[in-house]
Amino acid sequence: MQGKVVVITGASSGIGAAAAVLLAGKGARVVLVARRGDVLRAVAARCGKDAHVIVADMTRREDVRRVVDDTISLFGRVDVWVNNVGRGITRAPSELTDEDIDDIMRVNVKSTLYGIQEVLPHFKERNAGQIINVSSMLGRIPFATQRSAYNGAKHFLNALTANFREEFRQSHPGIVFSLVSPGVVRTEFGLNAIHGGADSRQFPDSQSAEEVAAVIANVIETRRTDVYTRPGSHARVLSYFTGFGEDA
């Protein structure tokens, strides 16, 4: 981890902020990206002297390109890119509007797609680098009906990750595409959902942002490609799809 240049999007709070603080503590040079500059700077102050703040909107491709260029200009390279921007929605599938779908896809899918596409030329040139996409258990099991559009966006994100991994497996084996799937995390995710929502910090069987950050750190150190943040999650996914197949 020592000296690695790690870009973390959505770094102003929650999982992104926790990951920034943890990775900086392990010796990484972290680049914190989000739209709220004042909050980002507060997180950076907890990270130490090697933390750098870039205020940007990851749903704007030109902003993403600027983050890549500014990071390379400052540090000479990017080693790890963490796509962590995301937002939930509280609306049943029968009530979804065009605007709901557009908003959720822009924040949860396009921000990740832009991040991957804009940093890839740099990674391809070096045949080195790691992209970590923060997904969700809802991207595996769409059990929360009120999160319908978010479930779909995370399924899309999972598919993109797998497809990028396969596209570059032979030509650029030094580039790693990793997927991290948390369950319920004690952040303000629920309260910040489109149309409002329950406070995720009050849900049972949840985990802290720091616990998820520790998994992300391990993914960087081990370069694992598909990781759940809670024990038993993989078995739960297998059980869900086994049951689904029997019903069909």
Domain ranges of the chain: 5-247
List pLDDT tens digits, range 134-167: 999 888 988 888 888 999 999 999 999 999 999 9
150 catalytic, yes or no?
yes
Taking the alpha carbons at both ends of the chain, their separation in whole angstroms is 46
Look up the pTM and report it: 0.92
Could you give the count of Cα atoms lying within 13 Å of 85 in the half-sphere of its Cβ?
28
Which pLDDT band, with edges at 50, 70 and 90, does 29 fall under?
very high
List pLDDT tens digits, range 73-114: 999 999 999 999 998 889 999 999 999 999 999 999 999 999
pLDDT at 185: 83
Which pLDDT band, with edges at 50, 70 and 90, does 248 fall under?
very low
- 178 sits in the region (left: phi over 0; alpha: psi -120 to 50; else beta) called beta
Q: Are 213 and 18 in contact (CB under 8 A)?
A: yes
CATH 3.30.2350.10 at 5-247, yes or no: no
List pLDDT tens digits, range 197-208: 765 666 677 789
Could you give the count of Cα atoms lying within 13 Å of 245 in the half-sphere of its Cβ?
6
Catalytic residue among 114, 150, 228, 240: 150
Neighbour-count burial for 49-78, b at 16+ CB within 10 Å, e otherwise: eebbbbbbebbebebbeebbebbeeebeeb
